[in-house]
Amino acid sequence: MRFTSDVTVARSLADVGAFLDEPSNLARWDRSVARVEPTSSGGTAVGFTFDTIAPSGMRMSYRITEHEPGHYTAIELCGSRMFRRAIWRMGYDAVPGGSRITCQVDFELRWRFFALMVPLILMQRSALRRDLDCLRRALEDPLPAPG
């Protein structure tokens, strides 16, 4: 299954790249992530691993499989009981007035969860759109400096 959506933000590619290269920023725009915990050392690069913790406490593990700084990152879900495979691809390009961010999500459910396919399809499209709108707001309305 594949879902794709995009959003245009009034920020430069450098700003978008810097924001998306910081894994902890995921919690600022992905509503299913309360916090991010690195599980390997080093910066954002191929092989870097991290866990996300949902507001419910559920933990999921990820690994960066492709990374072209300032342009593209692919992140794979690791060890999921529900998904046989799940990959998020984030690409960004310059457009007049800012940058376009494109998110593509590819996933395959394990057979025992196949009954969830239709609900996931119905929910995922709008959820991806909402998350990208949150990403746009996070980029365009950065947090105020600590005072």
pLDDT digits (tens, 9 = 90+) for 114-127: 545 544 554 566 67
Q: How far is the C-alpha of 101 from the C-alpha of 89, rounded, in Å?
A: 10
Backbone CA torsion sign across 135, 61, 56, 129: positive
CA distances from 2 to 42, 62, 107 (A): 30, 18, 7
In a domain, 147, yes or no: no
Amino acid 26: pLDDT: 92
In a domain, 84, yes or no: yes
pLDDT digits (tens, 9 = 90+) for 73-82: 999 999 877 6
Where b means 16+ CB within 10 Å and e means fewer, 79-107 reads: ebeebeebbbbbebeeeeebbbbebbbeb
Rounded to an integer, the average pLDDT of 124-143 is: 81
- Residue 53 in this model has a pLDDT that exceeds 90: yes
Q: What is the average pLDDT value for the chain, to the nearest integer? A: 84
The CATH number of residue 106's host domain is 3.30.530.20
In a domain, 100, yes or no: yes
87 band by pLDDT with thresholds 50, 70 and 90:
very high
C-beta neighbour count of 30 within 10 angstroms: 20
How many structural domains does the chain have?
1
Amino acid 147: pLDDT: 47
Q: How far is the C-alpha of 94 from the C-alpha of 100, rounded, in Å?
A: 6
Q: How far is the C-alpha of 80 from the C-alpha of 109, rounded, in Å?
A: 10
Q: Kindly report the pTM of this predicted structure.
A: 0.81
In a domain, 96, yes or no: yes
Amino acid 125: pLDDT: 63
Contacts of 34 (CB under 8 A, 6+ apart): 27, 53, 54, 55
The residue segments making up the domain with residue 42 are: 2-140
Rounded to an integer, the average pLDDT of 75-98 is: 88
Bigger pLDDT: 128 vs 134: 134
